[in-house]
Amino acid sequence: MTPIAHPEQIVAVGRGVRLCRQAFGDPADPPLLLIAGLGTQLVAWPDELCLGLAAEGFHVVRFDNRDIGRSTRMVDVPPPGTLRLLAGRFVPEQYTLREMAADTAGLIDALGLGPAHVVGVSMGGMIAQTVAARHPGHVRSLVSMMSTTGARRIGRPAPSTMRLLAARPARGRDEAIARSVRMFHHIGSHGFPFDEARLRATAGLSYDRGFNPAGSARQLAAIIKSGDRTAELAGVRAPTLVVHGDRDRMVAPSGGAATAAAIRGARLVTVDGMGHDLPEGAWPRLIELIVGHARAADGAGTAAAGTAAA
């Protein structure tokens, strides 16, 4: 049976935050939660990839983080300018990855998903790591993709990427789409075909769902304000898989290596040709890795429970 894509739903997760989520597949299947990256919405996880994961027997949930898409905008927090971002000096109200992880844990609670298999990409990987560290009862297994630990000299963007990030926000739909094409043509997976038509469609849909450059700036501030999380990651006990591309110009591969080194027992897999995106050519490999890791974690949990019962 073909997995079902369910309608979007707004869910209250506590502290005045409401997150927009969408699910794929059978709610009776093991839950698999997908966390998006900096400035990207739930649609950044391609429908076909979500359906492919659901077809493997998982209830797949993707969502907009706070300050993006159709989720709550943190309008009471002034967006940081370039100088504040460079200096790392923020208003007291500026949230961190801890609050974003609490949102995620609240979503798991509100939807009755706990514990869930948690998969995060880029900033979403940082959030996923923080959920595993600070809300361990919510996480069956962790997959951190193209992410890092927050250590200053680890996983840094290429200088050419920094110049693109420093550009002023787009002024309209056409410019936002063109900016997205330019960025992902640069940071995307040069080892796989570049699908500009798909990227344009996703960028246009994202603009229509909720264009919010101030929110993206606050999300970036959350990453910077959170600092180096290496020590916290030492406390993660969920079975962990770290996935990174060898051509990532946004988060250098050293970020993936450092994440795997920080988490006890973590396994690092490098995907040749992959950059800082989710190209169609990599979907079969990514599905294989995510599904295999989740099933192994569930099997280990079942075996442990059986041993304890005996």
Report the pLDDT value the prediction gives residue 194, as an integer from 0 to 100. 95
The answer as to whether 190 is a domain residue is no
* pLDDT confidence band for 300 (50 / 70 / 90): low
Mark out the alpha helices in 173-253 (DSSP H runs). Answer: 173-187, 196-210, 213-226, 230-233
The answer as to whether 129 is a domain residue is yes
Report the pLDDT value the prediction gives residue 307, as an integer from 0 to 100. 32
The answer as to whether 208 is a domain residue is no
The answer as to whether 131 is a domain residue is yes
Mark out the alpha helices in the chain (DSSP H runs). Answer: 47-55, 82-87, 97-111, 123-134, 159-165, 173-187, 196-210, 213-226, 230-233, 254-262, 283-309
Domain count, the chain: 1
What is the rounded average pLDDT of the residues 130-145? 98
Query: Shortest CA distance to 243 belongs to which of 124, 101, 158, 147?
Result: 147
The model's pTM? 0.95
The answer as to whether 162 is a domain residue is no
For the stretch 9-54, pLDDT in tens is 999 999 999 999 999 999 999 999 999 999 999 999 999 999 999 9
CA dist 284 → 78, 96, 287, 289 (Å): 41, 33, 5, 9
Cis amide bond preceding 193, omega within 30? no
For the stretch 243-264, pLDDT in tens is 999 999 999 999 999 999 999 9
Report the pLDDT value the prediction gives residue 2, as an integer from 0 to 100. 78
What is the rounded average pLDDT of the residues 62-73? 98
SS3 13: strand
The answer as to whether 140 is a domain residue is yes
pLDDT at 310 over 60: no
Average pLDDT, the chain: 95
Helix H or strand E segment including 120: strand 116-121
Residue numbers of the domain that contains 257: 9-156+213-309
pLDDT above 90: percentage of residues in the chain:
92
pLDDT at 1 over 90: no
For the stretch 156-190, pLDDT in tens is 999 999 999 888 889 999 999 999 999 999 999 99
The answer as to whether 223 is a domain residue is yes
pLDDT at 283 over 60: yes
Query: What's the CATH code of the domain at 292?
Result: 3.40.50.1820
pLDDT at 228 over 90: yes
The answer as to whether 234 is a domain residue is yes
Neighbours of 1 (CB within 10 A): 6
Rg (CA), the chain: 18
